[in-house]
Chains A and B, each alone.
Chain A
Amino acid sequence: MKRFCMRFYLALAFVFLYTPILILIVLSFNDSRVRSSWGGFTLKWYAQLFSDATLLTALKNTLSIALISAGIASLIALMAALGVDAMRKNHAVVVINLGNIPVLNADIVTGIILMLTMGRFMKLGYASILIAHITFNIPYVFLSVLPAIKNCNRSVYEAARDLGADAGTAFFRVLLPDIMPSLMGGFFMAVTLSMDDFVVTYFTRGAGIDTLSTLIYGQLKRGLKPEMYALSSMIFFVVLLILIAGNLIPGGAKRRDNDAVWKRI
């Protein structure tokens, strides 16, 4: 009985979190321009979205900003984590706390201060959105990689050095594979945050460039195009598939083999 109640409560939470998403998916198959009435099942919005140039440009901007910002943020964060790991403790604490500011800061303030700063030195546009996204992405990758570096087995790295590997080789062949899952986790989190961001993009974009979020927000007042539901649902499905596939394959077999080898030695 107690377990049933707990399951029920958990299920309720999921209903709360997923109902709005389900509605949007249903709307993407709705054969009616009016969103409050059901006009039958259709796939036409999915077909039409590929001929909507504004939509495709916004999609391209969103995807490229997400991937590039997450990539650059991962590189900076990985280097930072390696550096901080070698720092004296009190220095490390200062650097970590400073890096936390964008996480704890409000989106609106992050957006505004970056808009004010970059607006003074450059024309707001693609580049300023990219810089803003790198800024809020760095801490997430950093916080995901740093514990992995602290926890990894240092003796293996040192053994590699003792056996004649230079620092670079030892890093790429020993340390990096060890922290790769955390790094990829941070990278994926960064892509997710960047794709979902509205507030920071809204302030730092300037005029004339849209990501999906700002395009949708702009359309809300005039009435949203149904193609928007189709595109967003499609992104949702693709990522869901990737996550399901990733859960089943995540280099798991290979890693387990490695563990077995270690145990035998």
Chain B
Amino acid sequence: MNRASQKRTLLAFPYIFWIIAFTLIPVLILFWYAFTDAEGAFTLKYLAAVFQKVHLKSLWMSVRLSFVCTVLCLLIAYPLSLCMRSLKISRKWMLTTIVIIPMWMNFVLRIMSWQLILSKNGILNRLFSMLSLPPQNLANSGAAIVIGMVYDFLPFMLLPIYNSVMDVEEDVLEAARDLGAGTLTVIFKILVPLNRPGIISGITMVFVPALTTFAISDMLGGGKVMLIGNIIEQEFLNTMNTHLGSGLSLILMVFILIGMLFSFRLERDQEEYKAKSTAEKEKELC
């Protein structure tokens, strides 16, 4: 390590300062609020509050809805990525049209638009009556929330899966086909195992925001469905019970942390795999 590059590492300091000041310290402050009461005395009652019936019920509801949302996103995104690979859709094109352009229509309006689609006399039911199908009562229900969540989070599932699907080299698939594997065998025996890290990363990228959303459930649940995110939001902004809100947020963070550790480990596995395969390739070339 020479002096010039030692000096260059100093450039990272504003960034490190920012992480400490606006990520690490805020997390510690959340801990402090969660473990103390209004008088500043140590307590565990706000963490234990998660076991109250209302909170358990909404936590369970959140887990259920976000599970359904994650599964649906995976079922939509994986075949879609395979299609995009076959149709040779470029990364830039897919990033722009699927992730970036929709984001330029305001998030709140985009979700509100689903209210119009799903409501009793909404667009979907008009379409159904034209096709003489029975009208559906989807508005203000768990189903509406799931649809909104799938709509909003699908790109987060698509992005990592698309990347890992595109990383698989055509030679590998060709070899499998030459050896007699059919399309389904290629998908389930070759592609899915190779894409596992991308799939896992997509799952965490969707499950975390789905588990913690409050805006989507507020707009599409019509106040009937209380998710854990809605409870936390109300504790902070309506009842002003900062300590209880912090306790519940901390519990949520534990869920998120588990997800993060999971994805970090898999990423490392993937990097090791990549490093190994490039090393082997170099060996071959020599």
Residues of A at under 8 Å CB distance from B? 3, 6-7, 9-10, 13-14, 16-21, 23-24, 35-36, 76-77, 79-80, 82-88, 91, 95, 97-102, 104-109, 112-117, 120, 131-132, 134-135, 138, 142, 167, 188-189, 192-193, 195-199, 202-203, 212-213, 216-217, 220, 224, 228-229, 232-233, 235-236, 239-240, 243, 247
Contact = CB atoms under 8 A, between A and B. Distances in A.
Interface of B: 1, 4-6, 8-16, 18-19, 22-27, 29-30, 33, 76, 79-80, 83-84, 86-87, 89, 96-98, 100-114, 116-117, 119, 121-123, 151, 154, 204-205, 208-209, 211-215, 219, 229, 232-233, 236-237, 242, 245-246, 249, 252-253, 256, 259-260, 263-264
B27 A113 contact: yes
Contacts of B86: 3, 6
Contact of A203 (B80, B105, B112, B236): B236
A36 B119 CA distance: 10
A235 B84 CA distance: 29
A205 B27 CA distance: 19
Contact of A17 (B4, B102, B264): B102
Nearest to A93: B268
13 contacts: A10-B84, A23-B123, A76-B14, A83-B9, A95-B12, A95-B15, A108-B214, A109-B256, A112-B236, A202-B215, A216-B112, A235-B105, A236-B105
A24 B109 contact: yes
Given A192-B103, A197-B107, A95 B264 contact: no
B15 A83 contact: yes
Contacts, number: 225
Nearest to B87: A6
A127 to B, nearest CB: 13
Nearest to B104: A239
A216 B212 contact: no
A108 B229 contact: yes
* Leading 5 A-B pairs by shortest Cβ distance: A83-B12, A80-B15, A20-B113, A113-B26, A83-B11
Contacts of B209: 106-107
A247 to B, nearest CB: 8
A82 B8 contact: yes
Nearest to B93: A247
Given A10-B87, A23-B113, A83-B10, A142 B101 contact: no
Given A195-B104, A235-B104, A108 B8 contact: no
Nearest to A103: B205
Nearest to B236: A112
A63 to B, nearest CB: 12
B interface majority secondary structure: helix
B242 A116 contact: yes
B278 to A, nearest CB: 14
Given A131-B22, A224-B112, A217 B103 contact: no
A21 B110 contact: yes
Given A120-B29, A243-B101, A213 B76 contact: no
Contact of B106 (A106, A142, A212): A212
A104 B104 contact: no
A17 B154 contact: yes
A104 B260 contact: yes
Contacts of B252: 106, 108-109
A24 B22 contact: no
Contacts of B103: 192-193, 195-196
Nearest to A142: B15
B15 A76 contact: yes
Nearest to B205: A104
Contacts of A101: 19, 23, 260
Given A24-B113, A79-B12, A138-B15, 13 more contacts: A6-B83, A24-B105, A80-B15, A83-B8, A84-B9, A99-B19, A101-B260, A167-B4, A192-B103, A196-B104, A203-B236, A217-B215, A247-B96
Contacts of A189: 100
Contact of B96 (A142, A193, A243): A243
Contact of B29 (A117, A192, A216): A117
Given A21-B110, A83-B9, A106-B256, A116 B30 contact: yes
Given A9-B79, A17-B102, A112 B107 contact: no
